[in-house]
Amino acid sequence: MEGIAAKQACPCGVMHREVRSTVQVGPGILDDVASLVQRLPVGSSCLLVCDQNTYEAAGKRVVLQLEQAGKRVQMLQYVRKGPLTADAYALGELAFELSAKPDFLVGVGSGTMSDLVRYTAYIVGVPFILIATAPSMDGYASTVAPLVQKGSKRTFLAKEPLAIVGDTDVLANAPPHMIVAGVGDLLGKFIAKADWKLGHRITGEPYCPVIQEQVDQALGLCLGEMKRSCLADRRFVQVVMEGLILSGQAITMFGNSRPASGADHHLAHFWEMKALEQGRTIGLHGQKVGLGTRIMLQLYAEVAQRVQNSDRADLRDLFASLMSDLPSVSEYDALLKTASIDFAPSTLGITADWIEEGLLKAMYVRDRYTILRFASSQGWLEELASTVLRDYK
């Protein structure tokens, strides 16, 4: 029933899913969780999922709010020495806590926590609420969950949250690299847009200007604020969080991550796979996307130059239009500098070899047309990869 009611027609010809999550972002919002929960169709018992850090940051206040709303609260607090991974072990721990059959789940955390809870809620068929503790990625509003299965990352179908709560007093106290990661995930939308338009023109795949406008808005908000305020400002984290939710909703509406993920993301996924193979941790998703975006801006500039020297007038027009929406690499660097943000490979633990390998192989990570496939189709990729690489050696 939900599927039928949720579809809506769009001028682009594709039926988009309607976004239904209640979103609350702002200062002191955590104090309103009790009244929010009372308004939502969630039932009377819940399992709250958090880790030590997110319990301290928000979880303990959320428990009080839930109890104030008259809910029975059971809690799973993950304990890890290092970062929590969304793998079979973490899912198993969550499954053990479900024997009391809670009516709804509450996830308190950011990327990994929301993926675990989103997937479990989908499998068990109960609603869930997300309490964000860091504006670190755009998955809060999405309907898929990247999980680690047998050592590699796979994306699984999951479920949209009933509500997303982002208290900017909590978000502003997130570790700075998590806020930086959220900015990186949003900056990747430059490449997502160019790749989507490129794919649409070259392969005829559907492109939706309405959804693109929403992603443009998400990116635009972030860019504006980067020039004005610093990372830990309440206003800055509010804008980043709202942008990330808009972007996640665009993914939900379109039905896959095309509006929000291009070759920059494929590079990030490629590095993530390499790191998993080697049992290493290499920064957060959004930080890798921020670096991937810089690399793809370089590749776009190189490809565009070759196209301008070619005799293909149609491609010259296409690339002139794509490039008009992209910053130059020096503009990108200047923007990062203004906001005191650094996506240097050395900071993330990414070597020049990985960048080179990624440039040559990341197009096989997803079956999706990007600038990497275009460059490869022209026979330019290897040569341009070594040109781009000079910046990182």
Of 133 and 142, nearer to Zn ion (C-beta) is: 142
Q: Which residues pair with 45 in a beta bridge?
A: 72
Q: 20 or 316, CB closer to Zn ion?
A: 20
Residue with Cβ nearer Zn ion (19 or 208) = 208
3-state secondary structure of 286: helix
Choose one: 91-99, 153-161, 208-216, 340-348; the region binding Zn ion (CB under 5 A).
Answer: 208-216
| Shortest Å, Cβ 305 to Zn ion | 28
Question: Alpha-carbon distance 231 to 238, whole Å?
Answer: 11
- Separation between Cα atoms, residue 247 and residue 245, nearest integer Å: 5
Distances (CA, A) of 151 to 70, 92, 269, 332: 41, 16, 14, 34
CB of 145 to Zn ion, least distance (A): 13
Name the segment binding Zn ion (CB under 5 A); options: 9-17, 126-134, 236-244, 385-393: 9-17
Among 6, 12, 73, 389, binds Zn ion (CB under 5 A): 12
Q: Tell me the C-alpha distance between 178 and 231, whole Å.
A: 10
| Least gap, CB of 266 to Zn ion (angstroms) | 11
Stretch of 94-102, 103-111, 180-188, 316-324 contacting Zn ion, by CB under 5 A: 180-188
**Alpha-helical segments (H) within the chain:** 2-6, 33-39, 52-54, 60-68, 88-96, 111-124, 168-171, 176-187, 189-203, 209-228, 234-254, 263-277, 285-308, 313-324, 329-338, 345-348, 352-361, 371-377, 381-389
Nearer to Zn ion, 33 or 226 (CB): 226
CB of 382 to Zn ion, least distance (A): 27
Q: Stretches 203-211, 319-327, 348-356, 366-374: which one binds Zn ion (CB under 5 A)? A: 203-211
Decide: is 264 part of the binding site for Zn ion (CB under 5 A).
Answer: no
Q: Which of 185, 242, 264, 302 contacts Zn ion by CB under 5 A?
A: 185
Nearer to Zn ion, 102 or 109 (CB): 109
Which of the stretches 57-65, 206-214, 306-314, 382-390 binds Zn ion when contact is defined by CB under 5 A? 206-214
**Rule CB under 5 A: is residue 10 a binding residue for Zn ion?**
yes
Q: CA-CA distance, 198 to 307, in Å (whole number)? A: 13
Binding-site size for Zn ion (CB under 5 A) equals 5
Taking the complex as a whole, the smallest distance from the CB of residue 211 to Zn ion amounts, in Å, to 6
Burial class for 97, CB neighbours closer than 10 Å (0-12, 13-18, 19+): middle
Which of 179, 181, 257, 180 lies closest to 215 in space, CA to CA?
Answer: 257
Report the sign of the C-alpha dihedral through residues 57, 61, 63, 69, in that order: negative
The stretch near Zn ion (CB under 5 A) out of 64-72, 109-117, 155-163, 184-192 is 184-192
Phi-psi map region of 143: left, alpha, beta (phi>0 left; psi -120 to 50 alpha): alpha
| 272 near Zn ion (CB under 5 A) | no
Q: For Zn ion, which residue of 208, 219, 240, 282 counts as binding (CB under 5 A)?
A: 208
Q: How far does the chain reach from its first CA to its final CA, in angstroms?
A: 55
Question: Which spans of this chain sit near Zn ion (rule: CB under 5 A)?
Answer: 10, 12, 185, 208, 210
